[in-house]
Amino acid sequence: MGLRNYANLNPIFTLTSGVSDSATVLPVGSTLGSPDTPFLLALERRTSFHELALCTDKDETTFTVTRGFDGVGPFEHDADTSVEHVVAAIDYREANEHVNTPHLDLEGVTAKGDIFAGTSGGEMDVLPVGADGSMLVPDASQPTGLRYLLGRGIQVVTSTTRPTGTLRYEGVRIFETDTDLEYLWTGAAWIRSNTLGSWSTYTPTWGSAGTAPAIGNGQILGRYWRAGKMLHVWIRVAAGSTTTRGSSNVWYVTIPTGEGTVAVDTWMDGMMLYGSLLYGVKVGFTAGGTAGAMFYSSGGLYYGMNSSLSGFTTGSAFAVYGAVELA
The segments of the chain whose pLDDT lies below 50 read 151
pLDDT at 119: 86
For residue 99, what is the enclosing H or E element? helix 89-100
The domain defined by 200-325 folds into Adenovirus Type 5 Fiber Protein (Receptor Binding Domain) (2.60.90)
CA separation for the pair 68, 54 (Å, rounded): 8
CA distances (Å), origin 229, targets 103, 120, 216 = 52, 40, 34
Rama region for 28: left / alpha / beta (φ>0; ψ in -120 to 50; rest) = beta
pLDDT at 133: 63
pLDDT at 23: 97
**What ranges do the domains of the chain cover?**
13-96, 133-192, 200-325
pLDDT at 259: 87
pLDDT at 104: 54
The C-alpha R_g of the chain, in whole angstroms, comes to 42
CA separation for the pair 258, 36 (Å, rounded): 73
pLDDT at 75: 97
How many helices and strands in the chain, by DSSP H and E? 1, 24
pLDDT at 105: 55
pLDDT at 196: 56
pLDDT at 226: 83
